[in-house]
Amino acid sequence: MGELGLVEDLAIVTLVAGVAGFLCQRIGLSSIVGFLLAGFVVGPHTPPFALISDEARIETLSQLGLVFLMFSIGLELSLGKLRRMGLGLFLAVALGAALVFNVVRFLCPFLGIGPSQALFVAGMLMASSSATIGKILPESGLVHQRAGNLAMSITVLEDVVAVVVLTFISSVVQIHRGPQAHIGRILGVLLAFVTVIVVLGLLFLPRILRRLDRAGTDLLTITVAGLVLGIAVIAVKIGYSLALGAFLLGAIIAETPQRPAVERAMQGMRDVFIAVFFVSIGMLLDPALLAKNWGLILCLGLAAVGVRTLALSLALMVTGTPDWDAIRTGLMVTPVGEFAFIIAQVGVAAQLLSADYYPITVGIALFTAVVSPVLIQRSAQISNFAVKCEPKFLREFLTLYQQFLASAGEHQQRSRVFGLARQKLPLLLVSIIFVSGILVFAPLVLHEWDTLFPGHAAAWRDYVFWALVGVAMTGPLLGVWRRLAEFVLALMDLVFGAEPWARLPLLEVGLELMSALLVFVWVWLLRPTGENTAYLFGGILAAAVVYILVFGKRLMTVHHQIDSQLAEAVLSAEERRQQSREHWLKEHQEWELTLSEIRVPDSEAWFDKTLGDLALRSRFGCSVIGVERQGYPVPSPGPDTAIFPNDVLLVLGTKAQIQQVRAFFDSSPTNTEKSDILDEIRLESLEVLEQSRLAGNALAELEIPRHTGVQIVGVSRGKHRILFPGPFQVLLPGDWLLVVGTREQIHRFREWIKAGVPGSEEHEWEVGA
């Protein structure tokens, strides 16, 4: 039966997880609590219920579950979602995490926790539990309020922070195993690994997933599962945790069009192994250690609630969030969860934490899970009290500070240099890190290269290897040079475009040579030692000559295709459109044309108008080459094409002509007052009289909406009220009807039911009259 041990353990884990999760959901608790309790009951430390006793197999199950948990977290993220949250929230989460990390490390010595253990404890408390918060906020009805929206966004960003912290802690584990002199190399390898995996994934994964999706769900599931486990193993081989590799793959797939298909295909497997992870954590709990450390658990639980609330509230205020919303949000993100278990697992596995920290971590998570619902429900009252206690000078200072941040943000948005940097720099930085990654990883691959070609000619073997590295990095290196030269030229045109000398061809050649020199210096700083340098640069030079002479413009096309694919993930929608417009006009720069999007203002002046009525061509000399309406293009617009407020016109012309068109549209008055539909619709109550045509008839027979246009939304009969009566509801004398319609429709209904009936009485309830 020894060979069936893992299968038997997996059967027990999944069965008890399902039962315990179901029971916890029935009593209003998170299923994660049920998984932890189930593991605690069947684990090796709770006889006579100890159904699983092999701790090595428990560790294997937890590692397997960890991989799919981190993949799931990465799959729920996307750069588009993160960009929509805004830079201010990014800074707030980063500042709040830094405050939590440092304050907790400061408090740890007072609780008897050593310096190395304090690093892990501080990391455990830096990230909130998205599972717990995602359950409490919808149930409390606060998820749609501003503080609730901020709290949900913070949980997403804190997942990213937690991955960074987890990676940092993995680096600390490596440093603990080796000399500290390698810390710079460890961090450099980390950055290179992440960039190489992300770039290659964004370039190749969409095509692979698209073909697998067409082949069938079964092949998609099998391949993605293999990729998840494979990337996790590669991360471990390089020296980082399984969690980092699985998270990166999930985040990459989140940027692909096949994300929904992957989510559907992997849903069942993810659910199973996420439950396995939490049950395995529960199985590692020792009741004796839980009782021994109850005081420390209570202190760290209180510290987690207090420090996280204060740190995130202060960070949100610093980045411009009003104090009342900031305090409420801080109270909503106190639960500690998934990442605390993962960090504790890494620390115990590296023998930097004792086994006591498993129960300590679970105890902290359970404490915050119990306290958080109370804090969230009373967050408004606590925030009101805190705001009232603020000194007057502090309140005035916060108001002035928020006004200053708003003004600075508007200035930044108007800055043309800032806009150019946002458009050009992201892809340039990604390219630089990608090429750096090739050079950083080359020595790691060299060892495997030597084992493939054993022999006495070690020197020639290394020379060939570095020459091939030079050839491999030439294509991306030319892309770096092209992007750097384009950025420098665009910056010069932006700053000195009005000067005659700024457009001299000789100056452009000089700037391109300067960019090439910068690229050469950068590669020289990362070069290998000894004679290998000559072979590296020889490979680069030979490949560059072949690329330029043989491929020519086709190389530029390939670079543009790579830029487009990376831009789908790195740039915002507006930046992608701007880049696409620039490429569209690139081969016709001598005409000095500009392609701009101009939104038709929300004004009555633009109703019932066509492009011919606007006469933009005859007035300003430019052309409308496209119209976008509610996100959909209107093909081949002509003079008879109607336009409506909020349509987006794609206008082709010179910069001066575009500015004149903008001024033309801005000259019209905009609608500042919106009509309320309740100004037109009334809600009234009318009595059914004995002689009325309504008495004794069913609603279906009367066909009231067809005759009068009103709708019957309620019938009151004595003490009973029938809301939204059905078609077979019979009306009786003395009933009161609740009807809805316009004034004209209700007047028509009165006349229709009172024909020949004298002295009918009415009682009205009006809405929006």
- The pairing of strands 762-763 and 736-742 is unpaired
Burial label, 649 (beta-carbon count in 10 A; 0-12, 13-18, 19+)? buried
Q: What is the pLDDT of residue 692?
A: 82
- How far is Cα 563 from Cα 480, in angstroms, rounded to an integer? 11
**What pLDDT sits at residue 768?**
36
Considering only residues 431 and 3, tell me which one the structure prediction assigns the higher pLDDT: 431
Per-residue pLDDT of 141-185, as tens digits, reads: 676 677 777 887 787 777 777 777 776 776 666 555 554 444 455
Rounded CA separation 128/279 (Å): 20
Q: How far apart are CA 90 and CA 88, in angstroms?
A: 5
Q: What angle do helix axes 217-238 and 242-253 make, rounded to 10 degrees?
A: 140
**Model-level pTM?**
0.57
Phi, psi for 389 (deg, rounded to 5)? -80, -5
CB atoms within 10 A of CB 85: 18
Q: What is the pLDDT of residues 358-371, one digit of tens each?
A: 788 888 888 887 78
> Contact 289/361 with Cβ under 8 angstroms?
no
Confidence of residue 557 (pLDDT cuts 50, 70, 90): low
Residue 548, burial from CB neighbour count under 10 angstroms (0-12, 13-18, 19+): exposed
**What value does the mean pLDDT take over residues 36-64?**
79
Bigger pLDDT: 675 or 374? Answer: 374
Q: Which residues contact 320 (CB under 8 A, 6 or more apart)?
A: 88, 401, 402, 405, 406
Q: Give 582's contacts (C-beta < 8 A, 6+ positions apart).
A: none
At 759, the pLDDT band (50, 70, 90 cuts) reads very low
In this predicted structure, the answer to whether residue 451 has a pLDDT above a threshold of 80 is no
User: What is the maximal distance between C-alpha atoms in the chain?
Assistant: 118
Instruction: Compute the average pLDDT of residues 35-56.
Output: 79
CA separation for the pair 730, 666 (Å, rounded): 58
Phi and psi for 268 in degrees, rounded to 5?
-65, -45
CA Rg, the chain, in Å?
33
| Cα-based distances in Å from 51 to 27, 43, 183, 469 | 25, 6, 43, 54
What number of helices (H) and strands (E) belong to the chain? 31, 11
Please choose, from the candidates 48, 70, 50, the residue with its C-alpha nearest in 3D space to the C-alpha of residue 58: 50
Closest by CA to 289, choosing from 593, 498, 44, 49, is 44
d(CA 700, CA 704): 8
749-to-679, 703, 716 alpha-carbon distances in Å:
19, 12, 18
**What percent of the chain has a predicted confidence (pLDDT) above 70?**
73
Q: How confident is the model at residue 766 (pLDDT cuts 50, 70, 90)?
A: very low
Q: What is residue 761's DSSP assignment?
A: -
Nearest Cα to Cα of residue 342 among 178, 165, 99, 108: 165
Average pLDDT (491-502) is 63
Looking at mean pLDDT, say which of 274-283, 446-455, 756-765 comes out highest: 274-283
Query: Phi, psi (5° rounding) for residue 352?
Result: -95, -15
Cβ atoms of 249 and 201 closer than 8 Å? yes
Predicted confidence band of residue 564 (pLDDT cuts 50, 70, 90): low
Task: Answer yes or no: is pLDDT of 461 > 80.
Answer: no
CA-to-CA distance for 82 and 570, rounded, in angstroms?
Answer: 11
The DSSP H or E segment spanning 610 is strand 609-610
Rounded Cα distance between 289 and 197, Å, is: 41
When pLDDT is averaged across residues 384-413 and rounded to a whole number, the result is 67
Query: Does the pLDDT at position 569 exceed 60?
Result: no
Residue 131: pLDDT band (50, 70, 90) is: low
Coil, strand or helix at 50: coil
Percent of the chain with pLDDT strictly greater than 90: 0
Report, as an integer, the average pLDDT of 328-335: 85
Question: b/e string for 245-269 if b means 16 or more Cβ within 10 A?
Answer: bbbbbbbbbbbbebbebbeebbeeb
CA distance 346 to 119: 12
CB atoms within 10 A of CB 156: 19
Please state the rounded mean pLDDT for residues 74-81: 69
- Quickly state the pLDDT bin for 767 (edges 50, 70, 90): very low
> What mean pLDDT comes out for the span 551-575?
57
Nearest C-alpha neighbor of 746 from the set 675, 677, 685: 685
What confidence tens digit (pLDDT) does each residue in 101-130 have? Answer: 888 888 888 888 888 788 888 888 888 877
DSSP letter assigned to residue 608: T
Query: Given phi > 0 = left and psi -120 to 50 = alpha, else beta, which region is 598?
Result: beta
Nearest residue to 197 via CA among 480, 525, 438 = 438
Q: Is 552 exposed, middle or buried (0-12, 13-18, 19+ CB in 10 A)?
A: exposed
What's the whole-number average pLDDT of the chain?
Answer: 75
CA dihedral 101, 106, 110, 113 (to 10 degrees): 50
Residue 2 has pLDDT above 60, yes or no: no
Residues 6 or more apart whose Cβ sits within 8 Å of residue 208: 223
Least confident of 265-269, 364-368, 415-419: 415-419
C-alpha 487, offset from chain centre: 28
Residue-wise pLDDT for 397-410, tens only, equals 767 766 666 655 54
For residue range 189-236, list pLDDT tens digits in order.
666 677 777 777 777 787 888 888 777 777 888 888 888 888 888 877
Q: Which amino acid is at 719?
A: K
Structure tokens at 608: 């019932």
At 413 the pLDDT is: 46
Cα separation, 230 vs 224, whole angstroms = 10
Report how far residue 327's alpha carbon sits from residue 331's, in angstroms, rounded to the nearest whole number.
6
Count CA within 13 A, CB hemisphere, residue 100.
Answer: 36
> d(Cα 86, Cα 90) in Å, to the nearest integer?
7
Answer yes or no: is pLDDT of 390 > 80: no
Give residue for tokens 């000078």: 393
Supply the pLDDT for residue 762.
41
Q: What is the pLDDT of residues 7-36, one digit of tens each?
A: 888 888 889 888 888 887 777 666 777 888
What's the rounded Cα separation, in Å, for the pair 172 and 11? 36
Report, as an integer, the average pLDDT of 501-523. Answer: 74
pLDDT tops 50 at residue 310:
yes
Q: How far apart are CA 85 and CA 406, in angstroms?
A: 16
pLDDT (tens digit, 9 = 90+) per residue, 663-704? 888 776 655 454 555 556 888 888 888 888 888 888 888 888
Residue 625, both tokens: 């080459």
